[in-house]
Structure 1
Amino acid sequence: ELDLKNIQNILCSAGIAEIESDSIDNIYEKVHENIGMLNRKSEDLTSKNLSLKVEISKFKANNTLNESERSKCRKIFMNLKETAKGMKEECDKKE
């Protein structure tokens, strides 16, 4: 029953309210497109996170950071925090 509810939520999020009114091929295409969009979003977020990790590693390697570099680090950490929050919210919406 829980799986059925998850499937219904996925179909609703893809804009499919009533299965009877859509052909199976149309439903398949909508679900496929939505999965593709989620994969692209996930890849973009993963790429952004990797870039942030590289930046953090660069700053971490230099222990003598001046104030402007510390400010950049704070911004990087805040961006990372916001990205993680966004990914969590996106996952929560899809559940």
Structure 2
Amino acid sequence: MGVIGTIIGWVVFGLIAGFIARAIVPGKDHIGIPRTIAVGVVGSVLGGLIFGLLTGGFRGFQPAGWIGSIIGAVIVLVIYNRVTGRKQNR
């Protein structure tokens, strides 16, 4: 898998993790697909970092598996909503 394949994989992985995080966090999000991808990718890296710290196997910034990525994406989405004040509960 070349560089393009890796980038496409990260985009798809981020999109799925971001959409799942948006479904878990209550309320309506108006962030669009690019920000959903960003939330998923950043959440995956954050999930990998947290998992590494909790297990004592810290290996730097690397992606987590699906569950860690979704947990990380939920955390990133909640922080994003708090910082920007964009969350609308309906």
Same fold (TM over 0.5): no
Q: Would you tell me which structure has more helix in proportion to its own residues? A: 1
The two structures have a TM-score, normalised by structure 2, of 0.35
The two structures have a TM-score, normalised by structure 1, of 0.33
